[in-house]
Amino acid sequence: MNNLYIPRSGISLDRRGFLGLSALGLSAAALSACGGGPSTSGGKAAGKVEQIDFSGVKPAKEITFWTSNPGDSIKVSTELVNAFNASQTDIKVKLVTAGADYEEIAQKFQTAQTGGDLPDLINLSDVWWFRYKMNDQIIPLDSLFETLEFETDDFVDSLLGDYLYDDAHWAVPWARSTPLFYYNKDHWKKAGLPDHGPETWEEFDEWKAKLAAKGGAKFAFQFPALAGYAGWTLQNNLWGWGGGWSKEESFDISCNSKESVEALSFLKDWVYKDKVAGVAGVDQIQDFAAGVASTTVGSTGDLITAITSAKFDVGVAPLPAGPAETDKICPTGGSGVGIPKDISPERQLAAGTFLKFLTEPEQAIKFSEATGYVPVRKSADPAAILKKTPQAQVAIDQLPNTRSQDYARVFLPGGDLEMANHMASILTENKDVQAEMDSLKTALDKIYTDQVKPLI
C-alpha cells in the first residue's frame, strides 16, 4: 500500500502524504470510513502529525497490555511479561486478555474510549489499526523510538513500513503472518506425489484427482472458513490470475473482472464439478489436523497448532502462484502493538519501554518459536525456531514475496464481510460466479459511494 488513489478526484498520495489533507477540507473522521471497525465516526482534522515530547517525563509504575492472544499466544506472552517484570523494578506490566479475537478486542477498545478504562498497549490487527489512527485514538511512536533508542532499522522493513503514514509510525509489528499451504505428507505419499507443495494452482489442479482417489481424506482441499479468511487468503488466487478485489493501490473495484471471475470459477469447480474440495465451517486447521482434508491454506500463526494437533507429518509450502502472476502473490497479515492517545505521557513512556523489550530480537524469537508467527526483527537468529520447527523456514522465505493487502478489504468498512458472504454463495450455494462478483462490485462501490466519497 504505497499509494492511495481516490477515483474521480485527481488526488494520488503516497503513505507519507496521506494525512496532509486539511487544505482540501478532508477530515480524519471522513477518512476513517476507509478502515474496518465498529464505528467510522469521530476523529479530528488531518494535518501535520505532532510527536509527543517525552523529555522530562518519568514512566508510570504500572501499565496494562491488552491482547487477543493471537496464535494461542497467552502462554508465551505471559512468560515475556513476567520476564520484563523480573528484569527491572521501575515498571510492572499486567497482561489482560481483552477479547477472543481481533473483533472483540476492537469492540472493547471502542467502549473504553468513552468509559475511560483504556489500556496502555493494545494488540492491533492488520485491518483495525488504521481506523484507530484515523479516529485519533493511538499515538505516533517515532518520538518514543528516539527517546528509548529503538533499533528501527532492525525491523523487517515491509513489516514496520506497514504502519507508516505521514512520516510517522502508528504501531510496531508483533504477531505478523502470511498464509501458508499446508499438506498431509502421508496422503501425499499414498497419492504418489512429490514431497513438496505445488508451484502453481494449476499444478495442484493436476494433483487433486490423485489425492481424492488415493490420499484417504474426505477432501483433497479444504477452503478456510470464509468469515475472516475469504477476503484475506483468496487475494493470492485473484492476484495469481491477474485480478483482485480491487485494482492494486486503488478503490477501483475489479472483483468482477474477467481475471477475477476466472480465478474463482477455477476454485468453484473443485467443489461442484470435481467434488474434491470442501469449505471449513469453523476452523480449517482443525479439519486438516483431523485428517478431513489432505491440504488447506492457513496462517503462519496456525503452524504450531497444526503440527502439534496432527497425528501425521505436516508439510508446509509457500502459496502457489497463478498462471498470470508468480511474484508478490502472497498477502501480509497478522497484528502489531500500538499505544492509546488518551492516557498520560507517563503511561505512554512506560508502555513504550515494555514495547521495546517485547520486540527485541530475543523476545521476537521466543514469540515466533511458540506461535509460528514470523520473526519481526532482521537480527533475530531463527536457529532456535528452525531447530524446533523446521517448517517455519517457509514462512521466513516467503516474506520477500508478500504484497500489501487489497484496498477493498482493508479500507472499505464492511468490505471483508461482503467478500465472505458472496464467496459463501459461490462455494456453498453453487451460485454463478460472474453474477455474484457483479453483485459484490455493486456492494463495494456502494460502500465507497455512500461512506467515503461524500466525505472527500
Give all domains of the chain, ordered by start, each with its CATH number: 62-176+334-398 (3.40.190.10), 179-331+404-455 (3.40.190.10)
Q: Could you give the angle at the alpha carbon of 270 between the alpha carbons of 297 and 127, nearest 5°? A: 35
More confident of the two residues 133 and 445 = 445
Instruction: List the one residue out of 189, 220, 223, 218 whose CA is nearest residue 207.
Output: 220
Q: Are 119 and 93 in contact (CB under 8 A)?
A: no
CA distances from 314 to 194, 257, 278, 394 (A): 14, 36, 19, 13
- Compute the distance between CA of residue 117 and CA of residue 114 in angstroms, rounded to an integer: 8
Q: Is the dihedral angle over the CA atoms 110, 115, 116, 119 positive or is it negative?
A: negative
- Long-range CB pairs of 1-9 (<8 Å, 24+ gap) are 1/162, 1/249, 1/404, 1/405, 1/407, 1/410, 2/249, 2/404, 3/249, 4/249, 4/407, 5/249, 5/250, 5/251, 5/252, 6/251, 6/456, 7/250, 7/251, 7/252, 9/456
Q: In one letter, which amino acid is 361?
A: P
Q: Quick: pLDDT tens for 304-342.
A: 899 999 999 999 999 999 999 999 999 988 899 999 999
Report d(CA 260, CA 282) in Å as an integer: 26
pLDDT of residue 452: 60
Residues in the chain: 456
User: Distance between CA 313 and CA 322 in Å, rounded?
Assistant: 27
Question: Would you say residue 168 has pLDDT above 70?
Answer: yes
Instruction: Quote the radius of gyration of the chain (alpha carbons, Å).
Output: 22
Rounded to an integer, the average pLDDT of 225-231 is 88
14 or 379: which leads in pLDDT? 379
Cα separation, 172 vs 139, in Å, equals: 12
Higher pLDDT, 414 or 341: 341
Mean of all residue pLDDT scores within the chain: 87
pLDDT at 275 over 80: yes
Is the per-residue pLDDT at 194 higher than 80?
Answer: yes
Q: Which amino acid is at 311?
A: K
Burial of 341 (0-12, 13-18, 19+ CB in 10 A): middle
Nearest one of 233, 281, 237 to 263, comparing CA atoms: 237
Helix, strand, or coil here: 292?
coil
Residue with cell 486478555: 97
Q: How far apart are CA 200 and CA 325, in angstroms?
A: 10
Share of the chain above pLDDT 70, in %: 89
Q: Give the sign of the dihedral formed by CA 40, CA 45, CA 48, CA 53.
A: negative
**Rounded Cα distance, 352 and 231, in Å:** 33
Flag whether pLDDT at 71 surpasses 50.
yes
